[in-house]
Amino acid sequence: MNKLFFLSVIVIFTISFNGCYAKENSSWSDYLQDSIQVKSPAVKYIHKIDVKGCSVDYDEVDFCTNEKLINYNNIIKSKKSNFDKNKFLMSFKERNDLYFAIIDMEGKKVYTFPASLSVISNIKPIEFSLDNNLFCLSGNFNQYRNSYTSVKTCYEYHNGSFDFKSRVELESEVKKYDNHGYNNLINKVKLPISSDYFSKCAEKNAIKKCEQLERSNNRAYSLSELKKISPDFLNIFDNPKIYSLNADTFRFLPEIKDSFYSIAEKYMETDEDSSSEFYLIKIKPVLNVEKIGDYYSIDKSGVITYKDKNGKLLKINLK
């Protein structure tokens, strides 16, 4: 009888203990279950390997940082498309430029756009629709060997590729630029002119007079001065082709037909001497930068003479 009672007590205790243990550890079981669900192939998250293009040529942007991966996955979780029926066109700002990527909501992939856009004041930077695969970017278009100032550029998206459709100049912005914009707030160089303008003047005149003539006839601007005149100047000069020069000052030529030029000067200092290096920047219609050595001169008709790296004199008609 005592043995039977003892066995009954053990059985009851065992059942009670297991029940309590299971109850106390229900949260742990739930955690394991959630973990299994997260790791299940049925739940797909975007990882670095799913981002097609983490960088842009000759640009410091990184599309694959942890922060951006979190943003991509948050968009996937939202299940809300804004482009081409089942995709999401996202943009983000780094430094002063906008970058773009298209998230395939069904395929769980990210396709990065290989260019950036410098925004122009009062111009809508991007246009797109949920109904089709066309998007257009308006502003200063930045891409290695393919940069344009004040343009509207349109692309169609097809399965991870960006197919170029059109590019037109922003007429309203050009009108503002030509007639009453910041273009008229700066002093243009008076032709003829040469890079040794000041030293030639100083050979015949007092330094003070030459300084005054330099300010009126051959005015040079730093980036900080241009920013004070109009922040829109930074939209023009905030381009890899230009800021990689590390130029100290910029001069602006009178507009020649439909073109607008600047000459950038970079000061070169050594223990023994100091000199300058010059670059001819074509601002519009298509941005282009050309090194013109340590000397240049421009005549009244707009022909620039400069030295190549071998010291040979070359001429270009800027018209």
- Determine the average pLDDT of the residues in 139-150: 83
Q: What is the DSSP string of 21-73?
A: HHHHTHHHHHHHHHHHHHHSTTS----GGGEE-S--TT----TTSHHHHHHHH
| pTM > 0.75 | no
Mean pLDDT of the chain: 80
Bridge partners (DSSP) of residue 139 are: 151
Give the pLDDT band (50/70/90) at residue 153: very high
Write down the pLDDT at residue 96: 74
Domain boundaries, the chain: 43-171, 184-318
Spell out the residues 6+ positions from residue 142 whose beta carbon is closer than 8 angstroms to its own. 59, 97, 115, 116, 117, 118, 239, 240
**Each residue's pLDDT tens digit, 273-313:** 778 899 999 988 788 999 999 999 999 888 999 987 787 88
pLDDT score of 149 more than 60: yes
Q: Are 290 and 274 in contact (CB under 8 A)?
A: no
Write down the pLDDT at residue 183: 59
What is the widest separation between alpha-carbon atoms in the chain?
131
Write down the pLDDT at residue 63: 96
pLDDT score of 6 more than 80: no
Question: Taking Cα atoms as reference points, which of 222, 245, 246, 236 lies closest to residue 287?
Answer: 236
Write down the pLDDT at residue 315: 92
Q: Are 106 and 86 in contact (CB under 8 A)?
A: yes
Could you give phi then psi for residue 183, rounded to 5 degrees?
-60, -30
**Each residue's pLDDT tens digit, 84-111:** 999 999 999 987 789 999 999 999 999 9
- Determine the average pLDDT of the residues in 121-135: 89
Give the pLDDT band (50/70/90) at residue 26: very low
Write down the pLDDT at residue 52: 95
131 or 181, greater pLDDT: 131
Write down the pLDDT at residue 275: 82
Give the pLDDT band (50/70/90) at residue 271: low
**Each residue's pLDDT tens digit, 223-270:** 888 877 777 777 777 788 888 898 989 999 988 777 889 999 998 876
- Give the separation between CA 201 and CA 122, rounded to whole angstroms: 43
pLDDT score of 28 more than 50: no
Order of all β-strands in the sheet with 313-317: 193-194, 296-298, 303-307, 313-317
pLDDT score of 21 more than 50: no
Write down the pLDDT at residue 255: 80
Q: Are 117 and 140 in contact (CB under 8 A)?
A: yes
pLDDT score of 272 more than 70: no
pLDDT score of 3 more than 80: no
